Amino acid sequence: MTHKTKGIVIRTVKYGETSLIATVFTSLFGVQTYLINGVRKKTAKSSKAIMLQPGAILDMEVYHNELKSIQRIKEINWSYVYKDLLSDVIKNSILVYLLELLNKCLKQPEENSELFDFCEDALITLDEAEKNILSNFSLYFSLQLAHFFGFKIESPNPEIAHNDEIYFDLKEGYFSSAKPVHHHFIEGELAQTTIELLKAMHPHELHEIKLNREKRRLLLTAYQQYYSLHIQDFGNMKTWKILQELL
């Protein structure tokens, strides 16, 4: 029995001489692993390999057996064709960061249609984005993604938000006017900027938040630490340093 679902390609690895193993976040089954035979052959069908680039949004017809760890794909087609996300160096670097972060958070193969819709919208928005919002896009995505995994960062009440001394506790996930007793926190301007990023209802608003390279680096570091404190075996992100250099 086959099922129709949308999917976002997270990563692929070569298997044998002509095949690929793809990790795909699907709208119907969550994150799944698929074996695609013969996709790297030098034939007309090899065009399907292009569709399996990381970040591709696909319409898929798949075979699904819950007892198997590796599934099969019957048919794939583009669901959305990117304008320049796969070719623009900066946009593609942000894309790779988003996919790595998502992959580290997706631990169980379970349906999460709201998360899928959020990710699909984020990738399409990134593809269509003007340059003035790109530098803060990864920060915005990092904060918003946490909501779907049970550790959403809530904006503080006005009294705390306007306090001269404000701290964001990375371990507990809240803002406070009292300094945490541990060292997992950011404070002052970095905490205030996090509040501003949380206020953004859509990436198009990100151009209003002005940050220099050093502050952006410190925030990316803090948000990576936040995830490592809340996601078991999160580890370090390989794309983090590359993104720092570009942004």
Mean pLDDT (the chain, rounded): 91
Mean pLDDT score, 160-186? 90
Contact 30, 108 (CB under 8 A): yes
Contact 52, 22 (CB under 8 A): yes
Question: Phi and psi (nearest 5°) for 108?
Answer: -120, 140
What pLDDT was estimated at residue 244?
A: 72
What pLDDT was estimated at residue 243?
A: 75
Residue, of 155 and 95, whose pLDDT is higher = 95
Residue, of 155 and 166, whose pLDDT is higher = 166
CATH architecture for residues 1-81: Beta Barrel (2.40)
Q: How confident is the model at residue 222 (pLDDT cuts 50, 70, 90)?
A: very high
CATH architecture for residues 84-247: Up-down Bundle (1.20)
Q: How do the domains of the chain map onto residue ranges?
A: 1-81, 84-247
What pLDDT was estimated at residue 44?
A: 46
Q: What is the pLDDT of residues 12-62, one digit of tens each?
A: 998 888 889 999 999 999 999 999 987 776 664 556 778 899 999 999 999
Helix axes 89-105, 134-145, angle to 10 degrees: 10
Is-same-fold flag (1-81; 84-247)? no
